[in-house]
Chain A
Amino acid sequence: MRPGKIKNICLLFVYITCLFMVFPNSVLAMHIMEGFLPFNWAAFWMVVMIPFVILGLRSIKKTVALHPSLKMLLGMAGAFAFVLSAMKIPSVTGSCSHPTGVGLGAILFGPTAMTVLGMIVLIFQAILLAHGGLTTLGANTFSMGIVGPFTSYGVYKGLQKLGAPRWLSVFAGAMLGNLLTYVTTSVQLGLAFPAADGGMTASILKFMSIFAVTQVPLAVSEGVLTVLIINILSVYSQKELQLLAAFTNGKITAVNQEAKA
């Protein structure tokens, strides 16, 4: 990435941060509707989100600095999340919801990179589509940009270690990442709106029955689509994937050695 581009990206985030400072009541944006989290909870999730965003920016910068050839692939992972979040798909429960598409990027680039990309998608939807919201951005980024990608990444890595075939690890990672995103949303709403009888647990279950059950077939779809893209990449983008395989093994120092080997 050229220095000019990095500067532009930094400026974008400065802009977003300023936006938050100018509208302090309105901090966050995604699957929980605008204004539907009490202020304290909205602020809490926002604060939780910030360190992950910083880590994500660092991780993206590092990836791109070490391997400029991965820039395009990173953009593609972001675009994938962008498309899938726009698809409101009917589900067997008779309502609609959408996949998140963050599993692919998390598996390729690590979970924190997707915190940043997921947040950008959420901001777009909150501002232009009134879907999600700026006040709920922190909570929604936490579910879609933190819990989802970390789950995908963890499940993928875990299954790979156990020797599962790659398609299975990718499928399970993307699917569970999507599912847990909405389980998290239910928990967030349940914490903020405890039921009069049964308290938090009762209302968490209630929200889960709305979000999470609807989400099961969509999670499977997301898993399948992610496998489909990985299949294509593993034929046409072998080189990039080899660079990344080194990446996702953790230590950056090991990357150069492996890339040379």
Chain B
Amino acid sequence: MKLVIKNGLLLVVVIILAFSPLFLAREAEFAGADAQAEEAISTLNSNYEPWFAPFWEPPSGEVESFLFALQAVIGSGFVFYYLGYAKGKYNAEKSKKA
């Protein structure tokens, strides 16, 4: 149980860090930092034209968020599969020893 409590507390810290900005900076737009960098480039060098465009861009915000969610799902799916596998193996070995 100690592990659960320890990691639970760590998770709370992450949640606070991720969500507090929404309350601390209510007026903000929360645009991506990369979009801001684009703006900065155009003020530094207004003649600069991006010389290459992505082959394909997600047609809408919905599609883009779907793809990001998909990426997170694939990644977390494997991470938790591994953790479950490791825990199962650990328990199996423990009960074999007992």
Contact B40 A221 (CB under 8 A): no
A35 CB within 8 Å of chain B: yes
Q: Is the CB of A79 within 8 A of B50?
A: no
Q: Which of A70-78, A144-152, A248-256 contacts B (4 or more CB under 8 A)?
A: A70-78
Given A83-B76, A217-B21, A231-B3: A210 and B36 within 8 A (CB)? yes
Please choose the segment from A48-56, A84-92, A158-166 that sits at the chain B interface, where 4 or more of its residues have CB less than 8 A away.
A84-92
Once bound together, how far apart are the Cα atoms of A2 and B17, in whole Å? 42
Chain A residue numbers with a CB within 8 Å of B14 are: 221, 224-225
Task: Knowing A86-B68, A95-B28, A214-B33 are in contact, say whether A126-B87 is a contact too (CB < 8 A).
Answer: no
Roughly how many angstroms separate A230 CA and B90 CA in the complex, as a whole number? Answer: 15
CB closest residue in chain A, given B48: A193
- Chain A interface, DSSP helix/strand/loop, else mixed: helix
Bound together, the chains give a CA A154 to CA B79 distance in angstroms of: 25
Do A193 and B72 have beta carbons less than 8 Å apart? no
A75 near B82 with CB under 8 A, answer yes
Bound CA–CA A236/B48 (angstroms): 53
B12 to chain A, nearest CB (A): 10
* B residues 70-98 touching A (CB-CB < 8 Å): 71-72, 74-79, 82-83, 85-87, 89-90
**B50 near A228: Cβ-Cβ < 8 Å:** no
Partner of B32, one of A35, A97, A128: A97
A225 proximity list for chain B (CB < 8 A): 10, 14
- The answer to whether A135 touches B52, judged by C-beta atoms less than 8 angstroms apart, is yes
Q: Output the least CB separation between B91 and chain A (Å).
A: 9
Q: Are A96 and B17 in contact (CB under 8 A)?
A: no
Q: Mark A79-114, 1 if CB is under 8 A from B, else 0.
A: 111111111111111111100000000000000000
CB-contacts of A21-43 with B (<8 A): 25-26, 31-36, 38-39
Contact: B44 with A206, CB < 8 Å?
yes
Are A95's CB and B17's CB within 8 A?
Answer: no
CB nearest neighbor in A for B31: A95
| A90, B83: Cβ atoms closer than 8 Å | no
Q: Choose among A35, A39, A76, A90 the residue that contacts B22 (Cβ–Cβ < 8 A).
A: A90
User: Is A233 in the interface zone, CB < 8 Å from B?
Assistant: yes
**In the complex, chain A residues whose CB is within 8 Å of the CB of B29:** 94-95
- Please report the C-alpha to C-alpha distance between residue A189 and residue B37 in the assembled complex, in whole angstroms: 9
Q: Please measure, in the bound complex, the distance between the C-alpha atom of A91 and the C-alpha atom of B10, giving whole angstroms.
A: 18
Q: Nearest-CB distance from B57 to chain A (Å)?
A: 4
Do residues B37 and A72 form an inter-chain contact, with CB atoms below 8 A?
no
Interface residues of B in 8-52 (CB under 8 A from A): 10-11, 13-14, 17-22, 24-25, 27-34, 36-38, 40-41, 44-45, 48, 50-52
Q: Which residues of A contact B31 (CB under 8 A)?
A: 95-96
User: Which residues of A are interface residues toward B (Cβ below 8 A)?
Assistant: 25-26, 31-36, 38-39, 72-73, 75-76, 79-97, 124-131, 133-135, 189, 193-196, 203, 206-207, 210-211, 214-215, 217-218, 220-221, 224-225, 227-229, 231-233, 235-238, 240
* Pairs of residues from A and B, 5 with the lowest C-beta to C-beta distance, nearest first: A94-B28, A35-B50, A83-B75, A82-B75, A79-B78
- Known A231-B3, A232-B86; 8 more pairs at CB < 8 Å: A35-B51, A86-B69, A124-B71, A127-B56, A129-B58, A129-B67, A131-B34, A203-B40
